[in-house]
Each structure stands twice: as C-alpha cells, then as structure tokens.
Structure 1
Amino acid sequence: MAPMLFFPTRKSKVTAPAKAQAAPAARERGPGPRGWGGRGGGAAALVPSVREYRGTTVQVCGLWPFSSGTSSPMIGVPLGRHEETQATVCCDPISWFQRARLISNPSAFILGKPGLGKSTLVRRMMLGLSGQGVHPLVLGDLKGEHVDAVAALGGQVIELGRGRGYLNILDPGQAVEAAGLLEEQGHHDAAVRVRADAHGRRLTMVVSLITISRNSPPTDQEQTILDRALRVLDETFDGVPVLKDLLDVITAAPAELRQVALDRGDKSVYLKETRALEATLLGLTGGGKLGEIFSRQTTNPMRRDRAVVFDVSSIDETETDLQAAVLLACWSYGFGTVNVANALADAGLESRRNYFVVLDELWRALRAGKGMVDRVDALTRLNRSVGVGQVMISHTMSDLLALPAEEDRMKARGFVERSGMVICGGLPASEMPLLTAAIPLSRQEQQKLISWQDPPAWDSRGGDVEPPGRGKFLIKVGGRPGIPVKIGLTSIEASLNDTNMRWNALAETLLEPGTSGLAGDGAL
C-alpha cells in the first residue's frame, strides 16, 4: 500500500460582492492568485495554507481529487523522512536489489564531509538488515565506531592489535571442517573447491604481507616456492600451522621445494633462491612492524552465524603498513568465511545466509599500502555472485583520486560508478565537477549538497547547534532524480552513535560544577 498525500480544502473568507460588475477587459484576463480583483470581483483577503495529511491507499482511496502519490520507496530499512514531502523513505542496497529490483548491484557508496552522519546512516542499515536476517560484517573498523552496535545485536567483536588479539593468516578457519562435512555427505567436488579457496586465500595473504614488508612483490619463483611449501605443510603438519612453521619448511629444503626452485641437485642454488624469502619471513615471525599480529594462533575465531566486527582501532594511524596488512587479513578471513557458508548452503547442509559488508573509512584503506585498490576492486565486482551486499564510505571524491598511480585512481573512481546507489551528504563546491563526472547531478541537487556542508550557526554560549546538513543525504540511482532524506534517531540508536566519545567526555568534565576549565558564562 503506497503512502499518499491528500489536501482537504477550506472555505476562504471573501469580501462582500460589489454591486457593480467588473470591466469586460479584466474578465478576459482571468482571475489573479487571490481570485477576481477590481470592483465586484471579490478577491480573497486571506489565502490559508493547505493542511497536509498522510495515509495509505486503503485509508485515503476515496478522497478525490486532492491526493497525490509520494513516490518514495517503501521497501527496505526505514531511513527517515523525505525532506520535502515528509514521506517515509526506506532504503538499503540488499532490499533494493533483491526485493524492489531498483538497482542491479547490491552495493552503495556513501560520500560526505566528516561529522554529518555517514557512520550513523550505515548503522541504521546494519540494524534494519539484521532484523531481516542479514548478518552485518564490519571487516576492519579503524575507528571503533561500529563496535557498540554489533555488541548490541549480540554479535561478535574481534579485537586485533599489538597485545590485544592475533590473526593467523595460515589458519584455514572453518574450511577444513566444512570440507570434511561435505565429503561425508558425498559432495566431493564442493569439498575440493572449499579447500582450494582456503589454500588460495592463505597464499594471497602471505604474498601480500611480503609485498607490504618489502614495498615490492615477491618474484614469480618465490611465489611458486611459497605455494609448494604451503602444500607440503598441509600434508605433513599436524594442527594449524603459523608463519614460523612455513619458514621451517622452506629452511628444511625438502625435495618438492628444491624441484620447483630448479636447483638441479645443487643445494647452494636453492639457498641462493630462498635467501631473500627466508629473511622476509624471519622478519614477519620475529615481530617487527607486521609480524606480532600474524605470527601466533588466532585468538578469536570468526563465526558465520551472527554479526561480526573486527575492531582494529588500537592500531595507530601512523602505522600505515600495519593497517594495510590487518585490513587485507580481515577481508580475506571474512570472505573466506562467507565462501564456506555459501558452500554449505549450496549443498543443502545449512540455511542460506546473506551478509552486509561494511568498508568504512575507505580512503584510509586505499592509501594504506600497495595492493589495496586491487583488493577492493575485486570485492566490488564479486559481491553479487557471492550473495553479499556491501557499502563503502569515504569523505570526498578527491580522497579517492589522490592515489599516486593513475591506474589506481581510475579503479577508485570505478567504485563509485559501479555502485548500485550513491548516497551523498554535504560536500564542498569543489567536489561537484569530480562527482558529476561519475554520477549525473542536476544543478538543484548540487546546490543542495553544497548547502548541507555549511558549518553550524555561531553560538558563543556553547550550545549544541547542529550543522544544517547533519543527518541529511541525497540518494542517487543512475540518472533518476535524487531522494533527499533526513535521518532521525531513536533513543537507543542515539546511545550507539557517539563517534566523538572522547571529546564528549572532556566536555562533560569541563561542564561539571566546581571543576577548573573554560566552562561557565564568564569564561574567556
């Protein structure tokens, strides 16, 4: 039942009709905005505003002719009200792809200046989709903004950082258990695919760590040696190996590795080919800038039956290499778990699960190191085939186009162009040429986005004055007109959406009576 707006009429007070008739020329011109003017015209002295009511088609179907459709989508997570018609706007990439058929790709890209509610909008989608049976996955929360929301949903919070938690990149996760279950049920081909996917993800992560550590990728021969070493490790090692075990296999120089190293029976050739590789792996296992988090067994294995957030907020922003490595590990681990869930569901051993992947602070992830753009690019192209909806969050188009390599900048702009929907908050005027090159925006829509990025009004008393664009977003799908929506928070959501927790704690301290600080009406 689509909501409709209808406008009941009122009787207007008019002046008493004059006895004289209006001139024929005035009659030919027609009435003005307030009715017939002139002598005997009876123009209205007061034009009352029309009161608007809102109801469903069942409630107002008999009203005629003063009704009109609101044209706001009603399928998906309720985000807020239309800024102009006050109609409810429902939106999320999974519902608009799966149920409403409004977009062809279950993904969204959110742009907007800091402090205007981007993370709040994503949390609203997470909460709504969780109620519909979709599991949110925050694969790398760099600021810790989504931890409280996932915890409130009864989800799993996985802390990663120096001395906080560890993630073994050689851990196949649930792949071994799932492959064994598939073989027991006679699904041998599916079991082979699950094991192959787990092997490929572990190899990719080892290569990625070496690339970040060296600032250059390993050679083709080194990658071949790593691939064979992992296979030897799986055949001979009892339990879950770590990087130190992989290094021991390479150091032991078994016949399988010497064969792929092409040493021709001369072990000195093998030692020369693996010297640099052993040095890099030794740095990864001995601590260093990357090894501490990845050199031990996984402290908190990921589950596939609930919401999950990887809390990596303890990693300092200056440690860009470590951030890049952790994010890659979280993405690999998370999508490996999704692959296991899909394999079991395809075999009829589990119910089908859909996931909502959140890539927040994307600009920081892309700048963290080499290989990040390609990894995100692969994720954005495969989300529909693996049954995963995703949302990516960044500040501006300039952040995406500030990458050093031209090919990376083109790929980053493709993230916006390929997204099923683009949701824009307040943006500066300098962003409009870059944004309109990716998605069409009318002049009115551009002006609306520019007006939303203005700062709040001056208030010398220290009151909480919101910026004019806080909580306001424009939903764009292709060339269709944008839907401006204003998000309103419930009392429970307000307690989960404090992204300035440390600043607010300081403000409360300064405002306490009897404390020293710049608080009070007379403070300077």
Structure 2
Amino acid sequence: MPQTGPTPPSWGWPGSGRGRAAHTARPPRWQATTVQGCGLYPHTAGSGAPAIGVPMGRHMLWGEVVALDPVDWVRAGLCTNPGVYILGEPGVGKSAFSKRLAAGLVAYGTGVVVLGDLKGEYGDLVSRLGGQVVRIGWGLDRINPLDAGALSAAVTSLEGTNPEKAEALRAEVRARRLNLLLALCLIARGSRGAPITDAEELALGGALDILARRGDRQPLIPEVMHTIETAGPEMEQAVLARSPGEYRQLTDSVLRTLARICRGILKGLFDAPTTTPADLRAPAVSIDLFALDQAADDIVAASMLCTWAYGFGSIDASRAAGDRRPYLTIQDELWRSLRVAPGLVERTDRVSRLNRGKGIGSVITTHSLADSDALPTPEDRIKARGLVERAAITVMGALPDNELARVHEVRALTTRERQLVASWSAPESWETGRPHPGRGKYLIKNAGRLGIPVEMTLTAAERELYNTDQAISAG
C-alpha cells in the first residue's frame, strides 16, 4: 500500500524506542558460483574470466577466482600459443606471480624448468616441491651445453626401427649445437667484433660432424676447438679450402674466438662433461646461476645461453624418451644476455624457440620493454619486439604511462586498462614502511581480448618462499 507521512531518515527516527541506529551495520557477505547464486538472485552474472589452470587471484571487479595455465589455455582455444610475458616495476611481485604459477602447475603434473636463475630466487621453492637445484659456478656444478643426453640415445635406438625419425633427431641435435656455438662466438667477439663468416660456420659444423661420429661420449667445446686446430683433409673439405694454407687463413679467427671461450670467459664452467645432469623426472628443476650474478656481462650472457640450450635440449631428450607431460620453462633477465653482441637475438630465438605442439609453455619476465632499446642494432631491436609479440599472454604489473605506451604498440590496450595499470604505479604518499601500491595487482592481457584485472593474496607459506626482499630487509 502507498506510504503515508514523511520519509524516515536513513538511520531511523531519533528518540527512545524509535529504531534510531548509531551506525549502519555491515551485513554478512556470502560467495557462490553463478550456477548456485542464480537461485537466490536471478540476475547474477560472472565476468567470464577463465577458470582453467592455477588459481592466480580474484578478479578485482567481480571477485571471481581467475586461473591460468598457458598450455591448457591453448588446448581450450583461449589463446594461440603458450607464451607468457610478464613485466612490471621492481617490487610489484613479478616473480611471485611466476612462482605461484609454477607451484600450481607442479601440483597438476606439469614439469617446471627454471633456466638460468641469476638471482637465486627459485631454489627454495624448487627444493620445497621436491625438485632439483643445479648450481653453476666456479667450484660448483658444471654442465656441457653440447650434451644431448638421452636424445643421442634415442637416435641410436631408432636407427634400426625408424631411420627417418633417427635422422630427423640427429639433424635437430646438430642444429642446436651449431646455433649455440655461433651465439657463443658472437658473445666472445663482443659488440664491436666481426660477424661470423661462412667459412667459420662451416668449420664449426664440420667439427661437430666429426665428433658426433665417435658415438662414445658427448662433444665438448674444447674438443670442437681441437678438431678445427688439428685440421686434416675432412676439415679442409668442410670449409671448401683449396690448400692447408687457405684453411689456416679461413679458420684462424674462429680458433682465437673459441680459445677465448674455452680459456677465458667460460673456463671452468661449460668446458667439461656435465657433473650433475638435470633430472626431468623431478617435479621441478632450477639451474641456478646466482654465483655468476656479479660477473662480467659477457660471462653472464654466455652462461645464460648455455643454460637455455642445455635446458631445452634436456626437455627434447625427455620427450624422445617417451615423456608426454606438459612443461613450463621460466626465463628471467632475458635482455641481459641479448644486449652483449649484435645478432644474438636471432641466435637466442633459434636456441630457445618452442613448439606449442610439444606442450611446452614459457614464461619470460622483465622490468620494461625499454630494455630492448639497449640492444646493439635496429635489426636486433625489431627482432626482440617479435619475442614479445609472439607471447600470446601478457601480464602487466604496475607500469608508468611512458612504459604503457610502449606496451600499447605491441599489445593494444584500452584507455581504461592503461589508466588502471598506471594507477598502481605511484605511491599515494611518502609514508614509509608500506608495500608498493601495485604489489600483487596484475592485468592479464590475452591477444585482442579485454584484460583481466587480478589481485593475488599470498598465503603464509608463499610469503616465506616468494620473498625477494630478504637482503634489503636484513640490511
């Protein structure tokens, strides 16, 4: 029936016994799925955020749980490739995001391989998950980046039953080894060094072919150098030299480059047989380079490249041995290796390029796309941009406006998305002791779809394992 009389105040009529409330009580809040909640409130609708994969956090507008699994997203048709590119300011939780993704995927049976952990951030988590940590450094573990491991055994076993597949695997092993050697030569020559000549590439390939025929053990980089140095008719023919003198002239430069690798920047690191092979039967593997973090840029770049080649080769070897589970690789500080010498972007891409058909997802983290501006040549900068464009999923933490403009050139952002991510960037005041305002806030952008704003809250165990500010806090 229609109301008569004046409208009561929002807190009730004042006076004794008239229902006056000192404050408005907050009612209890309940959460349910849209399937359950529609019975109570038929207009309930979700945001459509994907629920496939690891729960990463709650939708900042709708409160739904948002999940992520790059491999399963490809299988479900949500994205075109399993590449994830994470960028954001220091302190916003980029590594925490990748660590939660890694820990959750291990629980789902995915193998996680951390390739070149320069800051030593993943060792505790991998150990807690029951995985393996291989620590590379002088006096520590060593790996042979030319080690094809079980892939060589697979080639041998297939020669009698499936010679075509055996030949394809043999060609893949050779291509991986040759690309790695060419990239290492570029690093050893530095930003002003001469490019690799055709004769030098032929010499490296010829030496690998000779060493591969031994069949008793994996080739080593010093052995490649020795094979080129000792020459012989087969090596002369490999470089199309018409005489021993011409052969020496064509190979002198690459010999000096290999000498710098074996006796200089990589001596004692990647010049001997693998001491602790990566065990991909473990739930997770971390190849830790923390002991080399303060080394010169060329040492770090060469070490990261060797680690990537070895890690991807190990996954391929596991695949050849019958392992069909999905994998996730994590690469941090990518730009630190690419800026050392011209041409490294293309060589690195060839070493680390993944086939989505193999069920391998990849995570690359960086602070800024501006890191690519430090690359030596315009061609390298264009190719580096392609690395970002090929990652179907971009995860953005707090970023300033100028950085968002760079991202917009690669991954189109709406005005509202740019405003939201930028709002996480600046602290509200100069008050000390408060976390970064963007800590735990991310925008997941998948190709042309609208971005998903997610806020991640860490559990007590995660705060202990994911804390990357321990050194600062202790100081």
Task: Please give the TM-score of this superposition, normalised by the length of structure 2.
Answer: 0.88
Structure 2 stretches lacking a partner, 5+ long = 13-23
Tell me, yes or no, if the aligned pair for 2:305 and 2:348 is still in contact at 8 Å.
no
Q: Which amino acid is the alignment partner of residue 149 of structure 1? A: L
| SS, match of residue 200 in structure 2 | helix
| SS, match of residue 97 in structure 2 | helix
Shift of residue 220, structure 1, vs aligned partner: 0.8
Q: Which has the higher contact order (CA 8 A, sep 6+)?
A: 2
Looking at structure 2, the residues matched to 311 and 488 of structure 1 have their Cα atoms a distance apart, in angstroms, of 27
Q: Residue in 2 aligned with 1:33?
A: none
What does 1:195-274 correspond to in 2, within 5 Å?
195-215=170-190, 216-236=194-214, 238-264=216-242, 266-274=243-251
Higher mean displacement: 188-197 or 375-384: 375-384
Looking at structure 1, the residues matched to 272 and 323 of structure 2 have their Cα atoms a distance apart, in angstroms, of 33
Root mean square deviation of aligned Cα: 2.6
Please give the per-residue CA displacement for 1:36-59, whole angstroms capped at 9, x wherever unaligned. xxxx6x476359778653212453
Looking at structure 2, the residues matched to 456 and 407 of structure 1 have their Cα atoms a distance apart, in angstroms, of 41
Please give the per-residue CA displacement for 1:290-329, whole angstroms capped at 9, x wherever unaligned. 3331222212112232321111121144511111111111
Which portions of structure 1, spanning 4 or more consecutive aligned residues, are displaced by more than 6 angstroms? 47-51
Shift of residue 122, structure 1, vs aligned partner: 0.2
Q: Residue in 1 aligned with 2:308?
A: 331
Q: Does 1:187 align with 2:154?
A: no
Looking at structure 1, the residues matched to 239 and 449 of structure 2 have their Cα atoms a distance apart, in angstroms, of 57
| SS, match of residue 163 in structure 1 | coil
Q: Does 1:17 align with 2:17?
A: no
Q: Residue in 2 aligned with 1:474?
A: 443
CA separation of 1:61 and 1:194: change in aligned 2, threshold 3 A = same
Please give the per-residue CA displacement for 1:247-304, whole angstroms capped at 9, x wherever unaligned. 332233222112234443x433333333223333333332x12333122221211223
Looking at structure 2, the residues matched to 143 and 113 of structure 1 have their Cα atoms a distance apart, in angstroms, of 16
Q: Which amino acid is the alignment partner of residue 401 of structure 2? A: A
CA separation of 1:471 and 1:308: change in aligned 2, threshold 3 A = same
Looking at structure 2, the residues matched to 455 and 45 of structure 1 have their Cα atoms a distance apart, in angstroms, of 36
| SS, match of residue 385 in structure 1 | helix
Q: Does 1:281 align with 2:258?
A: yes
Q: Which amino acid is the alignment partner of residue 188 of structure 2? A: S
What does 1:39-118 correspond to in 2, within 5 Å?
42=7, 45=10, 52-98=29-75, 100-118=76-94
Shift of residue 238, structure 1, vs aligned partner: 4.3
CA separation of 1:144 and 1:267: change in aligned 2, threshold 3 A = same
Q: Which amino acid is the alignment partner of residue 69 of structure 1? A: G
Q: Does 1:433 align with 2:408?
A: no
| SS, match of residue 276 in structure 1 | helix
Q: Residue in 2 aligned with 1:171?
A: 147
Q: Residue in 1 aligned with 2:15?
A: none
| SS, match of residue 292 in structure 1 | coil
Shift of residue 139, structure 1, vs aligned partner: 1.1
Q: Residue in 2 aligned with 1:159?
A: 135
Looking at structure 2, the residues matched to 373 and 402 of structure 1 have their Cα atoms a distance apart, in angstroms, of 12
Tell me, yes or no, if the aligned pair for 2:179 and 2:350 is still in contact at 8 Å.
no
| SS, match of residue 395 in structure 2 | strand
Shift of residue 425, structure 1, vs aligned partner: 0.8
Please give the per-residue CA displacement for 1:461-497, whole angstroms capped at 9, x wherever unaligned. xxx4212210000111233322111111112211111
Q: Residue in 2 aligned with 1:10?
A: none
Q: Does 1:385 align with 2:360?
A: no
Shift of residue 380, structure 1, vs aligned partner: 7.6
Tell me, yes or no, if the aligned pair for 2:54 and 2:68 is still in contact at 8 Å.
yes
Looking at structure 1, the residues matched to 250 and 369 of structure 2 have their Cα atoms a distance apart, in angstroms, of 44
| SS, match of residue 324 in structure 1 | helix
Higher mean displacement: 253-262 or 417-426: 253-262
Shift of residue 114, structure 1, vs aligned partner: 0.4
Give the fraction of aligned pairs with identical amino acids, expressed as a percent.
Answer: 39
Structure 1 stretches lacking a partner, 5+ long = 1-14, 19-39, 345-349, 507-524
Q: Does 1:500 align with 2:456?
A: no
CA separation of 1:273 and 1:60: change in aligned 2, threshold 3 A = closer
Shift of residue 361, structure 1, vs aligned partner: 2.1
Tell me, yes or no, if the aligned pair for 2:176 and 2:351 is still in contact at 8 Å.
no
Q: Residue in 2 aligned with 1:31?
A: none
Looking at structure 1, the residues matched to 332 and 123 of structure 2 have their Cα atoms a distance apart, in angstroms, of 13
CA separation of 1:262 and 1:450: change in aligned 2, threshold 3 A = closer
Tell me, yes or no, if the aligned pair for 2:119 and 2:293 is still in contact at 8 Å.
no
Q: Residue in 2 aligned with 1:516?
A: none
CA separation of 1:124 and 1:375: change in aligned 2, threshold 3 A = farther
Looking at structure 1, the residues matched to 51 and 305 of structure 2 have their Cα atoms a distance apart, in angstroms, of 36
CA separation of 1:305 and 1:70: change in aligned 2, threshold 3 A = same
Q: Does 1:304 align with 2:280?
A: yes
Q: Does 1:414 align with 2:386?
A: yes
Shift of residue 221, structure 1, vs aligned partner: 1.1
Q: Residue in 1 aligned with 2:20?
A: none
Q: Which amino acid is the alignment partner of residue 10 of structure 2? A: A
CA separation of 1:404 and 1:200: change in aligned 2, threshold 3 A = closer
| SS, match of residue 189 in structure 1 | helix
Looking at structure 2, the residues matched to 232 and 504 of structure 1 have their Cα atoms a distance apart, in angstroms, of 54
| SS, match of residue 328 in structure 2 | strand
Looking at structure 1, the residues matched to 341 and 121 of structure 2 have their Cα atoms a distance apart, in angstroms, of 23
Looking at structure 1, the residues matched to 273 and 82 of structure 2 have their Cα atoms a distance apart, in angstroms, of 34
Looking at structure 2, the residues matched to 107 and 470 of structure 1 have their Cα atoms a distance apart, in angstroms, of 23
| SS, match of residue 126 in structure 1 | helix
Please give the per-residue CA displacement for 1:328-357, whole angstroms capped at 9, x wherever unaligned. 11111122122223334xxxxx24121101
| SS, match of residue 476 in structure 1 | strand
